[in-house]
Amino acid sequence: MSSAAEHEYRHLPVMGSAEAVGHGAGGPAPQRIVVGYGFWIFLLSDIVMFSAFFATYGVLLPETAGGPGPRDIFDLTTAGWETAFLLASSFACTIATLGVEQRSQRWTQIGLLVAGLFGVGFLALEFREFADLIEKGYGPERSAFLTSFFTLVGCHGAHVSLGLLWLGTMMAQFYAKGFRETIVHRFLCFSLFWHALDIIWVAIFTVVYLMGVRL
């Protein structure tokens, strides 16, 4: 091998190094990129699932089996408070995001704590709403309409519950480990998830509650 060729060979990038990332022969993508794509797939699959629940609710809306319809059971006051709590929680999550950008432990923790408290308040109101309906004999087994209602709204509530567990985990990680890149990336995923739940609830409030009481 000539000296020029030997010099060029010695300066080739090692496969798997930072310079090789993104090239076909550079090995697997970094874990951060893989997790990011996985999260977006999860979020899109959730949107597809809720779209199916909305469609099912629309089809089964007239199927009351002689029981109560939307106008008979929905309380816009309770639903309005639930909406206000979730919107406030989303706003507090935005405050936490600004705290993360400024690397402020104080504002990050305050924002997440307030977001969590409003989320708990939302779940408490929803649980009371479900309990009142069941106590009156309007449980999910009463009609196809009520089955679709409990499925749609209950699934959203289950997602909020999981989101609160995720929120608590983020608070603990920020407190114990600070603003590491991996933790910040996880928080950004959580923030997108939390705001997506807010958007889905606004759709539920509009389609199920507001439109329901007009039927």
Burial track 177-188 (b if 16+ CB lie within 10 A, e otherwise): eebeeebbebbe
On whether the CB atoms of residues 128 and 82 are closer than 8 A, the answer is no
Span 152-165, average pLDDT: 98
What SS3 class is residue 215? coil
Dihedral over alpha carbons 104, 105, 111, 116 (to 10 degrees): 160
Domains detected in the chain: 30-214 (1.20.120.80)
Q: What is the DSSP letter of 18?
A: G
Taking residues 72-78, report their average pLDDT.
93
pTM (predicted TM-score)? 0.82
Q: What is the pLDDT of residue 37?
A: 79
**Predicted pLDDT at 35:** 62
- pLDDT value at 10 more than 70: no
Question: How do residues 162-213 score in pLDDT, each as one tens digit?
Answer: 999 999 999 999 999 999 999 999 999 999 999 999 999 999 999 999 999 8
> In whole angstroms, what is the distance from residue 69 CA to residue 67 CA?
7
pLDDT digit string, tens, across residues 12-51: 444 444 444 444 445 555 556 656 678 889 999 999 999 9
For 104, 110, 171, the CA distances from 178, given in Å and listed in that order, are: 10, 15, 10
